[in-house]
A and B are shown apart, each in its own frame.
Chain A
């Protein structure tokens, strides 16, 4: 058996669900699981990393790594990979993962499978499945000429079981290996929303032109609050300036695959379907019975969103708070 290295990400001192998915998948494979995490708060998550299956965690506790810098993250990741010598690296296809690992792969002269939705680890070998052509096809990714196989997984694709708090990981500390940086992170401008990003959300409530005006997104926010969901939108309403581009789901926005996607007043343009078609359960609410969204939906309601959404919010409240 070989070693699987998992890049563990955190937000506000909590291990991300997507990282927990990867740690547990690696642990189930029977390989030795080694995690890597960066930043001054790295120590906050080492216990959780152990509970979820890693036997060793490599940390670089340096405030210079609190925000993502491609050069310094790549330098530190490569230094640790060279020490650990894993046969497989798993990371989430997050903003950081997608940006960092192609660079790391190029430096390590190895391949990377990005944006995957299925993962099979068998011994030293790994195969992954990824959507292609905006979800209109799926392909198996096979590695060749790759001493280390790097797989970047979309969030919410793998099961999560309860952590085993009796387990712990041996912490190995490193000093920051990065030097001579040509990249400087000057500032992080916070987004309007404190909720989970669309790409990590397990439930998404999304609105389109059928909402008639920007102010009516409040109705979706209320529904999302009850469900613990993140609010998304179509290109049309983003281009109309009702909401920011960060909320756009679809071809020139975000690709999402939550467990539940509720589409309100969305007709279902192919560019939108490309971004959410692989959601597990899709609910469509639209006043036009011929809207293409109904062909993708699991459950459909033809009717007035302004009538149905507030009632739905009430029903969810009853169902979830009993």
Chain B
């Protein structure tokens, strides 16, 4: 069976963010790009599923500027994915990205299971997986920390508020968006890295998918850095004095009690 994994390349968390002069994006010079952390769980689960089901293949798919995005696809290949596809496009929102992912998966003959991360840490939107599922007309579950497949249906656990979990059964094909806790993503092995370097990554131009410009629904503007925080007020004295002072400040100055 065919297993797809949709991944996104994002700035590393440690990266310092600078805004472009037109305030519609970030200055990408000097940014370290990495695979979105939640997508690593998705890749790992796909590889585990393939290994448990003879004759299966893992296809990893990403949308973005191909020159850099292929690096994250190579990471997924080095972990053990079989094939990779990049959709070369820029300035797309979640809706258009989900459309592109769905179109490519359809064109490749569909998939039994499609994995992704529950959200990307750049815009924190947690939208693409559900939109893609809708465009593919298949069920989805997000925030998944446990996955099982019996050859026909999948059963997953979805983390919800208060530490509770929903046990959800879906008919396949199905979209599964991974949360932390699903597995421990493997590191790429050296032979895996060597093999991934030689792999041909299939390239598709976003423009060739005939997705209309009106499928871009949301644009980010007016980007700003957070306001500078006033300097921290350090409290002195012994523990009793500090505790009393803090409660007083929270009540009378910050007015949060």
Contact partners of B225 in chain A: CB under 8 A: 136-138
Contact A103 B124 (CB under 8 A): no
Main secondary structure of the interface of A (DSSP, over half): mixed
The answer to whether B208 has its CB under 8 Å from any CB of chain A is: no
Tally of B interface residues using CB under 8 Å? 85
* Interchain nearest-CB distance for B152 vs A (Å): 12
The answer to whether A260 has its CB under 8 Å from any CB of chain B is: yes
Contact A187 B217 (CB under 8 A): no
Binds A, one of B54-62, B74-82, B129-137: B129-137
Contact partners of A56 in chain B: CB under 8 A: none
Contact B167 A187 (CB under 8 A): yes
Task: Write out, one digit per residue, whether chain B residues 219-257 have a CB within 8 A of any chain A CB (1) or not (0).
Answer: 111111110011011110001101110110111001011
Contact B124 A145 (CB under 8 A): no
Contact B170 A115 (CB under 8 A): no
A298 vs B253: C-alpha distance when bound (angstroms): 11
A99 vs B98: C-alpha distance when bound (angstroms): 14
* Interchain nearest-CB distance for A225 vs B (Å): 15
A140 interface neighbour in B13, B123, B159, B220, Cβ under 8 Å: B220
Binds A, one of B42-50, B105-113, B140-148: B140-148
Contact B243 A193 (CB under 8 A): no
Q: Would you list which residues of chain B between 188 and 241 have a CB under 8 Å from chain A?
A: 214-226, 229-230, 232-235, 239-240
Q: Would you list which residues of chain B between 140 and 169 have a CB under 8 Å from chain A?
A: 140-143, 145, 155, 157, 159-169
Q: Would you list which residues of chain B between 3 and 20 have a CB under 8 Å from chain A?
A: 11, 13-17, 19
Contact partners of B246 in chain A: CB under 8 A: 283, 299, 301, 312, 315
Task: Write out, one digit per residue, whether chain A residues 91-133 have a CB within 8 A of any chain B CB (1) or not (0).
Answer: 0001100111011011100111111000000000000001111
* A-B residue pair count with CB separations less than 8 angstroms: 269
Contact B131 A189 (CB under 8 A): no
Contact partners of A186 in chain B: CB under 8 A: 155, 167-169
Contact partners of A246 in chain B: CB under 8 A: 159, 162-164
A133 vs B17: C-alpha distance when bound (angstroms): 8
Contact A189 B235 (CB under 8 A): no
A193 vs B126: C-alpha distance when bound (angstroms): 25
A110 vs B215: C-alpha distance when bound (angstroms): 8
Which residue of chain B is the closest to A187 with respect to CB atoms?
Answer: B167
Contact (A132, B124) CB under 8 Å given A182-B138, A190-B164: yes
Contact B180 A245 (CB under 8 A): yes
Contact partners of B115 in chain A: CB under 8 A: none
Contact A252 B38 (CB under 8 A): yes
Contact A111 B218 (CB under 8 A): yes
The answer to whether B127 has its CB under 8 Å from any CB of chain A is: yes
A104 vs B174: C-alpha distance when bound (angstroms): 17
Question: 19 A-B contacts, Cβ less than 8 Å apart?
Answer: A70-B141, A102-B126, A103-B131, A107-B134, A112-B217, A115-B124, A130-B124, A140-B222, A142-B219, A182-B171, A186-B168, A191-B163, A193-B163, A245-B145, A298-B230, A300-B235, A303-B242, A311-B240, A316-B247
| 5 smallest beta-carbon distances between A and B, as pairs | A111-B217, A191-B163, A246-B163, A197-B161, A106-B134
